[in-house]
Amino acid sequence: MRFLTGKTVVVLAATLILSATALAGDWCKEYNYGNKKKASSVDARQFTLSSTGRLEVDGRTNGGIKVQGADRSDVLVEACVRAWADTQAEADNLVQTTRIETAGVIRAVNDSEKYNSSVSFRISVPRNTDLMLNAKNGGLSVDGVNGSMDLKTVNGGIKLSNVAGDVKGRTTNGGIKVGLNGIAWTGGGLDLETVNGGVKIGIPANFAANVEAGTVNGSFKSDFPELQLPKKEGKTYYRQNKRVSGAINGGGALIRAVTTNGSVKIYSATARAQ
């Protein structure tokens, strides 16, 4: 039997620490809102909370929010804290003095007047959880959650997949991507709007729903015969306010997604989105 020496144990421990740091760094690279001309510092944090059935997250000035539904009873929160400043010492201090508040609303707080940062969240919750997510400069993503949802961002997209419940989402500058599953919507329905950004909705061929989608300035394409623009002389003609509303597979809950400036594509989930 081989025994590990004290030196070997230290080396293994150091390797594990480096590996964990590398993994955290890889995740945080996805959320780099910094200035490349400045010194930067980053810290990945992780903690668990008791589930109350409702989650509210404030992304503050810079930062995206991803929520994943899972077979769990608690809430796992991962926060990527990044700051930048004129010197490395200043950037490190900004990260170190950033705290994550979890009482009621999950959010990052720093009292420095020179605080330049981004704090993004990746959160795993029980599948039946109500969500209230707010961001200013960052996208919102939800996968595998059934609940009442209020999703708002200013500069960032909204991405939803395998969700259900009473879902509302609004963004100003960002696209909307939705992937539906099953044969019908479970819950009150889906209502999404953007001002500047495209809309893509993937719907299974046998999915039953009432669908409303449209754009003011942009192209429109649909794989579903029930959701087509009026035609003239065999060709879809250009007009503003391209909007369709129709029932597919007998109808059901309302699935609504509209934009002002951007294209709309409604595609069969069995087909590949371009």
Q: Residue 56 is encoded by which pair of tokens?
A: 């509210």
pLDDT tens digits, one per residue of 175-221: 999 999 999 999 999 999 999 999 999 999 999 999 999 999 999 99
Distance CA 256, CA 251 (A): 13
List helix spans (H) across 30-99. Answer: 88-96
Distance CA 263, CA 1 (A): 66
Which residues in the chain show pLDDT less than 50?
1-4, 6-25, 272-274
Q: Taking phi first (over 0 means left), then psi (-120 to 50 degrees means alpha), and beta for anything else, what does residue 3 get? A: beta
Amino acid of residue 144: G
Closest CA to 227 of 245, 253, 214: 245
Distance CA 146, CA 162 (A): 9
pLDDT tens digits, one per residue of 139-152: 999 999 999 999 99
List the domain boundaries for the chain. Answer: 175-274
- pLDDT at position 26 is 66
Spatial contact of 190 and 173, defined as CB atoms under 8 Å apart: no
Residues with Cβ within 8 Å of residue 88, at least 6 apart in sequence? 39, 41
Residue 231 Cα distances to 4, 55, 199, 235, 268, angstroms: 77, 46, 21, 5, 21
Q: How many CB atoms lie within 10 A of CB 129?
A: 22
